[in-house]
A and B are shown apart, each in its own frame.
Chain A
Amino acid sequence: MRIPFPFSAIVGQDEMKRAILLTAVDPTIGGVLILGHRGTAKSTAVRALPALLPPMSVVDGCRYGCDPKSPTSRLCADCQAHLHAGEKLRAHKAPVPVVDLPLGATEDRVVGALDLERALTRGEKAYEPGLLARANRGYLYVDEINLLEDHLVDLLLDVAATGENVVEREGISVRHPARFVLVGSGNPEEGDLRPQLLDRFGLSVEVTTTTDLDQRVEVIKRRDAYDRDPEGFAAQWAEADAEARRHVERARKRVDTLPVPDAVLRMAAQLCAAVGTDGVRGELALLRGARALAAYDGARQVTAQHLRVIAPSALRHRLRRNVLDEVGSTTRVTRAVTDLLGD
């Protein structure tokens, strides 16, 4: 298997890297949507993710990668059965899964389906888990999500929101935990996502190819070094990636207890009202994003500054789009932030 290009060696694209790191700190932020042109390190960043994520503890032999420490109700049916039978769940360390969902994948493939082989050769009705099962507790990555069938995107977001995959088909009735962070990427020039779907991503980032010559040269130099000697290059950046991983680990421990002052809560609500986002999703994403950012920065509490930094990512995709209005969403969010919080 190919050694992935190290996350820390990606030049620029700070907003994208930050959004991805924050989902590692707090997976409940919701998915990340990355929109941008080709060759802007979208795939590279996602494929480099595993190195940043501390390995997780997984029940031996569990098809859904259950966490032995999670409450019984959150375990899959198999693990619950083991517990009821009075067995102890043995566990091992495994890397956090980052699962690719290719375009054109059928619903069967995604949610799982009847295990044909066993049905036909042994006459047994058994369930063959799909990609959602593999992605449990990890990441599900859909490149070119804007070209994915709408009903599949719907399904993914539903499952991501409830944390559970319910399969009722071909005489199979299965439910299993499927908690994952959905990362979608795409080129907006090739098709848009429906606004209803956009709204359900926690964060969105717009990546552009930098036109800064020095930065571009640096990208190419690193890429050349990586191409010539992937192992050596990865080793060179291993310490930086490990540092980022420790950072994520520390932030994870802090994030749940980090206080959010009332003033900041009010600001978040005002900000959402000012840009006119419907529903509470925007506010939630804004607060969770700000809190994860504060935790990552090692701050004692969430401040207006954290809101300011995270606001474009948390809100820009929720703005009601007026097609005849030329002002970009990012600009509208930034303006609202400036109006509210000052420069």
Chain B
Amino acid sequence: MEETVASPLDARTQTELAAALLAIDPVGFGGAVVRAPRGDIAESWLTMVRSLLVEGTPVARLPISIPDDRLLGGLDLAMTLATGRPVAERGLLARTDGGVLVLPCAERASDALIARLTSVLDTHRTAPRGPFAGEPAPARVAIIALDEGDGVDEHTAAALTDRLAFHLTLSTGIGTEGVLFTDADVRAARARLPQVTISDPRITTLTTVALAFGIDSLRAVSFAVRVARGAAALDGRNTVSNDDCQVAAALVLGPRATRLPASGDATAEPEPPPPPANPTDAESERDELPSPEELQALEDLMIQAMQATLPIGLTIEAPSQRSRSGGSSGRSGDDRAGGIRGRQVGTRRGDPRGGGRLDLLETLRAAAPWQRLRPPIAGQEGRVLVRVRPDDFRIRRLVEPAGTTAIFVVDASGSAALHRMAEAKGAVELLLAEAYSRRDEVGLIAFRGSAAEVLLPPTRAIAAAKRALAALPGGGGTPLASAIDRARELVGQARRTGNDTVVVFLTDARANIARDGSPGRPQAEADAVASAHALRGLGGTTVLIDTSPRPSETAQRMAEAMGARYIALPRTDAQGIHAAVAAAMPRATT
């Protein structure tokens, strides 16, 4: 193994390093989240990992719709019924003990599945359902989450990704054959890993860099230390060198960065004290305490290594927005109807192992007509009262009360912008404050200049809302069409989660920026009307609050095009907006 790791690591090297490191100690690294535009790219990386794993390591796919009994273990219902005695079925987690689980479409996994996976990653064991399902079983697994979301509206739950060491973004095909590492390298590294040590100053440097890049989770730094040790083992050394720290920075810290080091931050000084001539080579085989200068140089090297893996858009995005990319807001895995909670609206044929609640009476009713036709089970004559086949199972159809998503679309153009924004923020917070008891969410779009921007994706968290609303500039043109288009997108998203929507426009509706961002009133108005018609087509409740000094015809026309209720509210205030919106909101059925 004489490959000197180029600095910064190129994409190809990173990909192969991640595969080899994961194969050294899959369980220790927790796994990886792999973002790729196409399924086959992620698959080829998987093939690479598989070729490096210890022979015989179980690798299984974990469909996100997996029922609890299959995942955790439980009673094998069909066998139990067929044999007339309890037959336990081991869950996928227990069967994959010591191996790797591949979770496709991870961004769509439900909160429930994520909770089970994080628990198994924390405790390394799984408790099956039910008393006959057997004892808690060891389940030391790694999870490779394949994320096909767009990374903005859809992303894998942060609770899971926080527990996976590697965050990879693959853009191009990589082939399935690694060229840098063989399975013999990986095997040697596996044997060496327990002996590899890391010096305290290097741990400090990794921690410092993580802090400077706004990586709060200490799990991330822990993984960085682990990865550094793995990289040393892979390179056939017993002590972690600067190169290894660079690998850790690129693979673990870079993708988790939430901000760039603040200016004035020691770490970000562009000119460190005289850097050693060639620190990469000089450092690697010694483990004496590095001097402060050398540590500074190491920090810089790490930061350099991270450049390639920083999240896209990090430079322009406010840290507050990125750090909230955790919630369940972006995922759409939980169907509201046909779920396992809520009120019953009937029954349907189905498998209760899928998490549905069995309707016993209906099941027996379904089984009853067939009793004479079903032969008794050998040896069970007379003991079985009712012969029930899996076909008979009836599960309850439940409907969860849907909530309401209120989307505020606020005109931040012109002179009255600041006042309007402040009052809209007030109204958003008032609505959120009373949204507890319902499943209501509130989002906010602001438009000014040449385009509209989603300031607050629909949420019910006050903390997130407050941060998003904290600062907003005003002034400039009125891109109404763009604003309506963004509103339509949010309406579509909310509908997919089963919510009703209320869209509230706060504007004088004097559009003067066309959809393509060019100025000019006639085109701007035509575009706005076209967008308004499209919004109307989506249905749902829309309210247009006219903020011009006197009720204007333009605003009334726009309201009509949207199918919106028109309210003139020249002296906009938070209470007034709140009252108008509350009146327009369809009440949830809780």
The chain A residues found within 8 Å of chain B, CB to CB, are 1-2, 37-41, 43, 47, 100, 102-109, 114-117, 119-123, 128-129, 143-144, 147, 149-151, 170-171, 187-195, 209, 211, 213, 216-217, 219-221, 223-224, 227-229, 321, 323-324
Q: Report whether A221 and B203 are in contact in the complex, using a CB–CB cutoff of 8 Å.
A: yes
Q: Report whether B433 and A209 are in contact in the complex, using a CB–CB cutoff of 8 Å.
A: no
Tell me the bound Cα distance from A219 to B204 in angstroms: 11
Q: Report whether A108 and B357 are in contact in the complex, using a CB–CB cutoff of 8 Å.
A: yes
Taking a contact as CB atoms closer than 8 A, the residue among B210, B221, B460 that contacts A191 in the complex is B460
Q: Report whether A106 and B194 are in contact in the complex, using a CB–CB cutoff of 8 Å.
A: no
With a CB–CB cut-off of 8 A, which chain B residues contact A120? 80-81, 386, 388
Q: Report whether B433 and A321 are in contact in the complex, using a CB–CB cutoff of 8 Å.
A: yes
Min CB–CB distance A64 → chain B (angstroms): 13
With a CB–CB cut-off of 8 A, which chain B residues contact A219? 218, 221-222
Q: Report whether A1 and B81 are in contact in the complex, using a CB–CB cutoff of 8 Å.
A: no
Min CB–CB distance B106 → chain A (angstroms): 16
Min CB–CB distance A210 → chain B (angstroms): 9
Min CB–CB distance B316 → chain A (angstroms): 21
- Contact of B37 with A by CB under 8 A: no
Q: Report whether A39 and B429 are in contact in the complex, using a CB–CB cutoff of 8 Å.
A: no
Tell me the bound Cα distance from A201 to B216 in angstroms: 27
Q: Report whether A170 and B341 are in contact in the complex, using a CB–CB cutoff of 8 Å.
A: no
Could you tell me which residues of chain B, from 209 to 233, have a CB within 8 Å of some CB in chain A? 210-211, 216-222, 225-226, 229
Min CB–CB distance B220 → chain A (angstroms): 7
With a CB–CB cut-off of 8 A, which chain A residues contact B77? 116
Min CB–CB distance B369 → chain A (angstroms): 17
Indicate the size class of the contact surface on chain B.
35 or more
Q: Report whether A188 and B461 are in contact in the complex, using a CB–CB cutoff of 8 Å.
A: yes
With a CB–CB cut-off of 8 A, which chain B residues contact A47? 122-123
Q: Report whether B194 and A228 are in contact in the complex, using a CB–CB cutoff of 8 Å.
A: yes
Q: Report whether B360 and A220 are in contact in the complex, using a CB–CB cutoff of 8 Å.
A: no
With a CB–CB cut-off of 8 A, which chain B residues contact A103? 111-112, 114-115
Stretch at the interface among B126-134, B404-412, B493-501: B126-134
Tell me the bound Cα distance from A267 to B378 in angstroms: 75
With a CB–CB cut-off of 8 A, which chain A residues contact B207? 213, 216-217, 220
- Candidate in A117, A123, A228 with the most chain B CB atoms within 10 angstroms: A117
Tell me the bound Cα distance from A149 to B336 in angstroms: 12
Taking a contact as CB atoms closer than 8 A, the residue among B80, B140, B211, B326 that contacts A190 in the complex is B326
Taking a contact as CB atoms closer than 8 A, the residue among A102, A129, A220, A227 that contacts B203 in the complex is A220
Q: Report whether A39 and B219 are in contact in the complex, using a CB–CB cutoff of 8 Å.
A: yes
| A223 in contact with B217 given A213-B204, A324-B429 (CB within 8 Å) | no
Q: Report whether A170 and B218 are in contact in the complex, using a CB–CB cutoff of 8 Å.
A: no
Q: Report whether B217 and A324 are in contact in the complex, using a CB–CB cutoff of 8 Å.
A: no
Min CB–CB distance B431 → chain A (angstroms): 10
Q: Report whether B125 and A1 are in contact in the complex, using a CB–CB cutoff of 8 Å.
A: yes
With a CB–CB cut-off of 8 A, which chain B residues contact A123? 384-386
Tell me the bound Cα distance from A264 to B140 in angstroms: 51
Tell me the bound Cα distance from A102 to B211 in angstroms: 31
- Contact of B432 with A by CB under 8 A: yes
| A117 in contact with B86 given A106-B340, A227-B226 (CB within 8 Å) | yes
Could you tell me which residues of chain B, from 349 to 387, have a CB within 8 Å of some CB in chain A? 352, 355, 357-358, 360, 383-386
Tell me the bound Cα distance from A115 to B75 in angstroms: 11
Tell me the bound Cα distance from A170 to B323 in angstroms: 45
| A38 in contact with B429 given A117-B86, A120-B388, A190-B328 (CB within 8 Å) | no
With a CB–CB cut-off of 8 A, which chain B residues contact A100? 119, 123
| A128 in contact with B131 given A149-B341, A213-B208 (CB within 8 Å) | yes
With a CB–CB cut-off of 8 A, which chain A residues contact B327? 189-191
Q: Report whether B426 and A324 are in contact in the complex, using a CB–CB cutoff of 8 Å.
A: yes
Closest to B112 in A: A104
Q: Report whether B216 and A37 are in contact in the complex, using a CB–CB cutoff of 8 Å.
A: yes
18 additional contacts, CB 8 Å, given A38-B326, A39-B217, A192-B460?
A37-B216, A115-B131, A119-B360, A121-B84, A121-B85, A123-B384, A147-B111, A189-B327, A190-B324, A191-B461, A193-B436, A195-B436, A216-B207, A217-B204, A219-B221, A220-B206, A220-B218, A221-B200
Could you tell me which residues of chain B, from 27 to 47, have a CB within 8 Å of some CB in chain A? 28
Instruction: Pick 13 A–B contacts, CB within 8 A, sort by A.
Output: A38-B219, A105-B112, A106-B355, A171-B360, A190-B464, A191-B460, A192-B463, A209-B218, A223-B218, A224-B225, A224-B229, A323-B433, A324-B429
With a CB–CB cut-off of 8 A, which chain B residues contact A105? 112
Q: Report whether A114 and B204 are in contact in the complex, using a CB–CB cutoff of 8 Å.
A: no
With a CB–CB cut-off of 8 A, which chain A residues contact B211? 211, 213, 216
Q: Report whether B463 and A143 are in contact in the complex, using a CB–CB cutoff of 8 Å.
A: no
Tell me the bound Cα distance from A40 to B220 in angstroms: 11
Min CB–CB distance A242 → chain B (angstroms): 22
Q: Report whether B463 and A188 are in contact in the complex, using a CB–CB cutoff of 8 Å.
A: yes
- Contact of B263 with A by CB under 8 A: no
| A220 in contact with B80 given A38-B326, A47-B122 (CB within 8 Å) | no
With a CB–CB cut-off of 8 A, which chain B residues contact A227? 28, 222, 226
Tell me the bound Cα distance from A107 to B400 in angstroms: 14
With a CB–CB cut-off of 8 A, which chain B residues contact A188? 461, 463
Closest to A114 in B: B360
With a CB–CB cut-off of 8 A, which chain B residues contact A114? 360
- Contact of B548 with A by CB under 8 A: no
Taking a contact as CB atoms closer than 8 A, the residue among B80, B217, B461 that contacts A121 in the complex is B80
With a CB–CB cut-off of 8 A, which chain A residues contact B436? 192-195
With a CB–CB cut-off of 8 A, which chain B residues contact A213? 204, 207-208, 211
Closest to A125 in B: B360
Tell me the bound Cα distance from A171 to B110 in angstroms: 31
Q: Report whether A223 and B388 are in contact in the complex, using a CB–CB cutoff of 8 Å.
A: no
Tell me the bound Cα distance from A106 to B207 in angstroms: 41
Could you tell me which residues of chain B, from 181 to 215, have a CB within 8 Å of some CB in chain A? 194, 198, 200, 203-204, 206-208, 210-211
Q: Report whether B357 and A106 are in contact in the complex, using a CB–CB cutoff of 8 Å.
A: yes
| A189 in contact with B132 given A121-B86, A213-B211, A323-B432 (CB within 8 Å) | no
- Contact of B415 with A by CB under 8 A: no
Min CB–CB distance A214 → chain B (angstroms): 9
Closest to A151 in B: B341
Min CB–CB distance B274 → chain A (angstroms): 24
7 closest A-B pairs by beta carbon, nearest first, are A104-B112, A39-B217, A123-B385, A103-B115, A2-B124, A190-B327, A194-B436
- Contact of B348 with A by CB under 8 A: no
Q: Report whether B75 and A189 are in contact in the complex, using a CB–CB cutoff of 8 Å.
A: no
| A224 in contact with B226 given A1-B125, A39-B217, A115-B131 (CB within 8 Å) | yes
With a CB–CB cut-off of 8 A, which chain B residues contact A106? 340-341, 355, 357
Q: Report whether A224 and B464 are in contact in the complex, using a CB–CB cutoff of 8 Å.
A: no
Min CB–CB distance B534 → chain A (angstroms): 31
Q: Report whether A220 and B426 are in contact in the complex, using a CB–CB cutoff of 8 Å.
A: no
- Contact of B116 with A by CB under 8 A: yes
Q: Report whether A220 and B460 are in contact in the complex, using a CB–CB cutoff of 8 Å.
A: no
With a CB–CB cut-off of 8 A, which chain A residues contact B464? 189-190
Q: Report whether A121 and B221 are in contact in the complex, using a CB–CB cutoff of 8 Å.
A: no
With a CB–CB cut-off of 8 A, which chain A residues contact B388? 120
Taking a contact as CB atoms closer than 8 A, the residue among A116, A192, A209, A217 that contacts B461 in the complex is A192
Min CB–CB distance B234 → chain A (angstroms): 17
- Contact of B430 with A by CB under 8 A: yes
Tell me the bound Cα distance from A107 to B340 in angstroms: 9
Q: Report whether A116 and B113 are in contact in the complex, using a CB–CB cutoff of 8 Å.
A: no
Tell me the bound Cα distance from A211 to B215 in angstroms: 10
- Contact of B475 with A by CB under 8 A: no
Taking a contact as CB atoms closer than 8 A, the residue among A109, A121, A122 that contacts B129 in the complex is A109
Min CB–CB distance B248 → chain A (angstroms): 12
Q: Report whether B130 and A43 are in contact in the complex, using a CB–CB cutoff of 8 Å.
A: no
- Candidate in A1, A39, A120, A193 with the most chain B CB atoms within 10 angstroms: A120
Map CB proximity to A onto B249-274 as digits: 1 under 8 Å, 0 otherwise: 00000000000000000000000000
Q: Report whether B221 and A216 are in contact in the complex, using a CB–CB cutoff of 8 Å.
A: yes
With a CB–CB cut-off of 8 A, which chain B residues contact A324? 426, 429
Min CB–CB distance B138 → chain A (angstroms): 6
With a CB–CB cut-off of 8 A, which chain A residues contact B426? 324
With a CB–CB cut-off of 8 A, which chain A residues contact B200? 217, 221
